[in-house]
């Protein structure tokens, strides 16, 4: 698992080149069909933004620069589309509105109903609260509109490969916010609970950014069993998500009773 903060690039997030937009087709069964002129796409992305113009900008950029299939979609169509189509990643604006609430609420719903779909939350303004809320909603990447388009590409590439991504400002906010969360039950190294051998294996894999499906395949378990092991390990460690696991292992270091689990490396490019 990698927490990456990227160096700012001169290009602006708000600048755009003229690119042909390819609209998605959603049939009555909710299946999304997005094609790109015969070019084989590497992955598929759906974008729920605050407005169609902003979403189109991101989709066009991904199609042009990453050679992927990308399309904007209404918030009300997202869950049906994910249920009937193979989508690798969704980008959700925190400002998007849906039947379940704002973009954070929609991301939480996606995370619960489609845990194998990676999520990037798009923030209009970065604050400690918004960064934490984004990751708690299930995001594996948090991207600010103040960042460059090149950083957006970097975010998408890392998240779709299973890493956690945040910009430099978001990373700093995340570290500071986690230090101050009163409900985060950080256990001292000498009091760290003992995990079973299988729980250690599952936590080890999760800390390296592997999905439940990948962990299940590697350990010859069912995804349901992997999920149960993670829940039990999280309860013992006093964490509630993979992101909190990341910080637990980082803060505990390799001298705790979890020394068999690799510490997660936080990387800040350009420092």
State the Rg of the chain over Cα. Answer: 19
pLDDT of residue 119: 95
pLDDT score recorded for residue 260: 36
Stretch(es) of the chain classified as CATH 1.10.10.10: 189-268
Tell me how many helices (H) and strands (E) the chain has.
10, 10
Q: What pLDDT sits at residue 6? A: 41
CA neighbours closer than 13 Å in the CB half-sphere of residue 28: 0
Collapse the DSSP code of 95 into the 3-class scheme (helix H, G, I; strand E, B; otherwise coil) and give the result: coil
Identify each DSSP E strand in the chain by its residue range.
Answer: 2-5, 25-26, 32-33, 44-48, 69-72, 89-93, 118-123, 141-144, 164-166, 265-268
Gap between the Cα atoms of 211 and 209, Å rounded: 7
Q: Is 47 left (phi over 0), alpha (psi -120 to 50) or beta?
A: beta
70: β partners: 45
Q: Is 122 helix (H, G, I), strand (E, B) or coil?
A: strand
For residue 125, the number of C-alpha atoms closer than 13 Å in the C-beta half-sphere is 2
The string of DSSP letters for 141-180 reads EEEETTS-HHHHHHHHHHHHTT-EEE-HHHHHHHHHHHHH
Number of CB atoms found within 10 A of residue 25's CB: 11
**Whose CA is closest to 250, among 199, 142, 178?**
178
CATH superfamily of 2-179: Response regulator (3.40.50.2300)
The class level of CATH for 189-268 reads mainly alpha
What pLDDT, on the 0 to 100 scale, is given for residue 105?
Answer: 94
Q: Which two tokens stand for residue 160?
A: 């779709």
Q: What is the pLDDT of residue 200?
A: 87
Between CA 171 and CA 266 the distance in angstroms is 9
pLDDT at 236: 87
pLDDT at 254: 33
Blockwise average pLDDT, block size 10, the chain, 271 residues: 41 35 48 45 87 90 88 93 91 93 94 91 87 86 91 91 82 67 46 78 80 90 92 84 70 43 33 31
- The span from the CA of 189 to the CA of 213, in Å, is 30
Domain with CATH 3.40.50.2300 in the chain: 2-179
- For residue 19, give the 3-state DSSP assignment: coil
Q: With CA atoms as reference, report the closest residue to 200 among 223, 239, 232, 222.
A: 232
């Amino acid at each position: 698992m990698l927490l990456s903060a990227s160096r700012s690039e001169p290009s602006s997030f708000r600048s755009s080149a003229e690119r042909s937009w390819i609209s998605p087709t959603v049939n009555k069964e909710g299946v999304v069909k997005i094609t790109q002129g015969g070019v084989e796409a590497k992955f598929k992305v759906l974008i729920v933004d605050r407005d169609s113009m902003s979403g189109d900008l991101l989709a066009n950029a991904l199609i042009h620069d990453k050679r992927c299939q990308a399309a904007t979609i209404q918030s009300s169509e997202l869950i049906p589309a994910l249920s009937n189509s193979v989508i690798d990643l969704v980008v959700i604006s925190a400002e998007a509105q849906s039947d379940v609430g704002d973009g954070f609420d929609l991301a939480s719903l996606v995370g619960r109903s489609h845990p194998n779909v990676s999520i990037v939350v798009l923030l209009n303004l970065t604050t400690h609260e918004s960064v934490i809320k984004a990751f708690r909603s299930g995001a594996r990447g948090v991207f600010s509109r103040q960042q460059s388009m090149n950083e957006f590409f970097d975010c998408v590439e890392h998240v779709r490969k299973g890493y956690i991504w945040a910009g430099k400002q978001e990373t700093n906010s995340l570290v500071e916010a986690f230090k101050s969360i009163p409900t985060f039950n950080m256990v001292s190294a000498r009091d760290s609970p003992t995990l079973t051998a299988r729980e250690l294996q599952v936590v080890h894999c999760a800390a390296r950014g592997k999905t439940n499906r990948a962990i299940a395949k590697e350990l010859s378990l069912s995804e349901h069993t992997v999920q149960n092991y993670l829940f039990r390990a999280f309860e013992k460690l006093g964490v509630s998500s993979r992101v909190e696991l990341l910080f637990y292992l980082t803060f505990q270091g390799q001298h705790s009773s979890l020394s068999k689990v690799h510490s997660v490396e936080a990387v800040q490019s350009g420092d």
